[in-house]
Chain A
Amino acid sequence: MSILVDKNTRLIVQGGTGTEGLFHTTQMVAYGTNVVGGVTPGKGGEWMLEGKLPVFDSVKTAREATDANATIIFVPARFAPDAMFEAADAGIPLIVCITEGVAVQDMMRVRNYLDQKKVRLIGPNCPGLLTPGEAKVGIIPGNIAIPGNIGVVSRSGTLTYEVLYAMKNLGMGASTCVGIGGDPVNGTNFLDVLEMFEHDPKTEKVIMIGEIGGNEEEKAAQYIGNKMTKPVAGFIAGQTAPAGKRMGHAGAIIEAGAGTAADKIKALEAAGVKVAKHPEEIPTLL
């Protein structure tokens, strides 16, 4: 067991024939992920990865031919909303969108539409999912994590890699790592993933990596304090960030004093979460 993706995942790749998409599709296949096809409009009928993967014109035809149950999106930001709508309409229950820089108003439309269809979206602007030893649906380097009993959830990309790598160096493995993405409007938040980890028998402990902006960490803290039985350790990035400046992630902005690192750390500590001073320290707190 694990959450969201495992050996039974049948993945298609939207935008897998572009430079980045192709690189990461190759990596996912090499990792052992069950990738069953690609979707690139206009290239239906062709094959990719030296004839190993069939390419389809649409998600609908790909799903009909492969019985895919998950999709990963690499298409550029201006086309990503359409790709998400298309996947949802084709009946794919899990969408992972790696694309960075999707317009906020587009994301609000996508999120509300997907909620109506009960489709689970991870991202956008995220590193995706990794269930070590089973499936990699995203861009997290496979060799930095080993299988284990720690669930990892994070808003950041490369910061998550730091933590997985630090865990591996201590011989600690992950059940599943979920990168929920740094955008202000995304598909899945901390609370959703913490609930999944709480109910996953393979996950015994949880690491949560947050950052400044918004109030998702505070909401998560409430859940941890009230409902969660598994121990949680965490880290909040942006303790030294000046207010009002956008720190790269569209979500990482401190507006009018709300969403500061200090507030989030206080809320998490009050809920019994051990908060690390730097990322490499996190695994040692569990």
Chain B
Amino acid sequence: MKLHEYQSKTIFSKYGIPIPKGRVAATAQEAKQIAEELGSRVVIKAQVLVGGRGKAGGVKLAKDPAEAEQLAAQILGMEIKGLPVRKVLVDEASAIDQEIYFSITNDRAAKKPVMIASAAGGIDIEEVAAKTPEKIIKSHIDPLLGLREYQARDVAVAMDLPREYMKDFVKIAMGLWEVYKATDATLAEINPLVITKDKKMVALDGKMMIDDSALFRQPDLNEMRDTDEDDPAEIEARKYGLSFIKLDGNIGCMVNGAGLAMTSMDVIKLFGGEPANFLDIGGGAGAEKVAAAMRIILTDPNVKAVLFNIFGGITRCDEVAKGILVAMDEVKPKVPMVVRLVGTNAEEGRKLLENANMITAETLADAARKSVEAAKKGK
């Protein structure tokens, strides 16, 4: 789950990381009022969950409240990479001396958190890493020991930070580590972390991603989830604990297991079809979950055929069959359905579906081929 800049910076601030004065606004009028309160030049920043806001014209400097209102109106009417801007952050403008990149993220290969820093901050860090890797400093953190202050000092020295800012930097680094830990972040990023002309270190921008698997112990963050930008079907799927991603094709897929779900999509494509979605019903799904999955698939008007590929292990095929029957009774689908059941209780499952008027298949390749044919006929 991604957090907006304003949400990330609010969290930073709670852990002692200095941020600019400012607030989020949903209307141009509000933006003007915030600018008046701040009584200085302000930056108006689009709050959308994609990168490259600046380049797209979603970040503007306003010299007075009137201009803040005008620019906010303009940005609030924008779409950035297809996402409508619904909120802007109005921040006090800073006079910048130096821009630093600083983040803590997971290094899956090392199985450890890693601190990443660069004196070349403010711009796209991936570009810096590609063109001038020597400017990127990485330091792994022992997850059992936590970040130690000496490690933060070493990073400051390695990026040649002016020594007078060493203490401030260490405090910010320790703060970001606490943020990362407390929020179960997979990324906590400050870019840029600036040194202002009046010699202060401030987190000018913030980006956070939270581990979805840890949301059970992060109720406050869960409430911050911005669902405006999610597909409604994906939101509905999340409610039932289904992993669903909408795609552009016309063959709906319902599969158990992520790897097999991806593979089913691949095989559909191999036989000349296009999958309409990725859908993993997960391990041990019961009838209710299966019925919900089927309703979600069938709400997509592009779907001309549905492929059920269930290899029972922890999931029992008879449970899946029951779910299919419940959903068919409710939704009365008009598209052809191809079903393949193998593994745990497959025989019982097949018996349940005997009179359901479904196309059956033995192998995955066979099932994919039949669903591609069925979708073509359905056009």
Contact = CB atoms under 8 A, between A and B. Distances in A.
Interface of A: 20, 24, 77-78, 98, 100-109, 111-113, 127, 139-141, 144, 154-162, 165-166, 182, 184-185, 209, 211-212, 214-215, 235, 237-242, 245-252, 256, 277-280
Given A112-B143, A240-B265, A256-B126, A185 B111 contact: yes
29 contacts: A20-B314, A78-B217, A98-B314, A103-B213, A104-B186, A105-B113, A109-B144, A141-B312, A141-B313, A156-B259, A157-B283, A158-B311, A158-B313, A158-B343, A159-B259, A161-B311, A165-B343, A182-B259, A214-B109, A237-B259, A237-B262, A246-B243, A246-B245, A247-B280, A249-B258, A252-B258, A278-B270, A280-B363, A280-B365
Contact of B263 (A103, A159, A214, A242): A159
B95 interface: no
A157 B343 CA distance: 13
B161 interface: no
A105 B186 CA distance: 8
Contacts of A212: 262
Contacts of B189: none
Contacts of B314: 20, 24, 98, 127, 139, 157
Given A77-B213, A108-B143, A20 B262 contact: no
A112 B211 contact: no
A279 B263 contact: yes
Given A242-B247, A278-B364, A209 B108 contact: no
Contacts of A100: 282-283
Contacts of B6: none
Contacts of A211: 258-259, 262
B350 interface: no
B266 A240 contact: yes
Nearest to B185: A105
Contacts, number: 179
Contact of A105 (B214, B266, B275, B343): B214
Chain B CB within 10 Å, residue with most, of A113, A159, A165, A242: A159
A184 B259 contact: no
Chain A CB within 10 Å, residue with most, of B111, B181, B211: B111
A157 B310 CA distance: 12
Contacts of B283: 100, 139, 157
Nearest to B129: A256
Interface string B358-370: 0000011100100
B275 A240 contact: yes
Chain A CB within 10 Å, residue with most, of B181, B258, B280, B283: B258
B10 interface: no
Interface string B325-347: 00000000000000000111000
Contacts of A101: 213
Interface string B239-278: 0000101010000000111111111011111100001001
A278 B365 contact: yes
B150 interface: no
Contacts of B312: 141
A144 B315 CA distance: 15
B257 A105 contact: no
Nearest to A161: B311
Contacts of B109: 214-215
Nearest to A236: B266
B142 interface: yes
Contacts of A241: 262, 265, 278
Contact of B214 (A103, A155, A182): A103
B44 to A, nearest CB: 27
B99 interface: no
Given A108-B106, A161-B311, 20 more contacts: A77-B213, A103-B211, A104-B186, A127-B314, A155-B259, A158-B260, A158-B313, A162-B260, A165-B343, A185-B106, A185-B108, A211-B262, A235-B263, A245-B245, A248-B282, A249-B259, A250-B211, A278-B266, A279-B263, A280-B364
Contacts of A140: 313
B376 to A, nearest CB: 18
Contacts of B368: 278
A252 B243 CA distance: 12
Query: Can you list the 3 inter-chain pairs with the closest CB atoms, starting with the nearest?
Result: A156-B259, A248-B258, A158-B257
B122 interface: no
B111 A157 contact: no
B313 A161 contact: yes
A144 B342 CA distance: 9
Contacts of A238: 262-263, 266
B365 A240 contact: no
Given A78-B216, A157-B313, A245-B245, A239 B269 contact: yes
Given A101-B213, A185-B106, A280-B364, A157 B262 contact: no
A24 B284 CA distance: 11
A112 B270 contact: no
B290 to A, nearest CB: 15
Given A104-B211, A242-B247, A158 B181 contact: no
Given A141-B343, A248-B280, A162 B364 contact: yes
A69 B263 CA distance: 35
Given A100-B283, A157-B313, A251 B262 contact: no
A214 B262 contact: no
B184 interface: yes
B263 A278 contact: yes
Chain B CB within 10 Å, residue with most, of A103, A160, A215: A103
B79 to A, nearest CB: 18
B281 to A, nearest CB: 10
Interface string B57-77: 000000000000000000000
B112 interface: yes
Nearest to B275: A240
Interface string B92-125: 0000000000000010110111000000000000
Nearest to A209: B259
Nearest to B312: A141
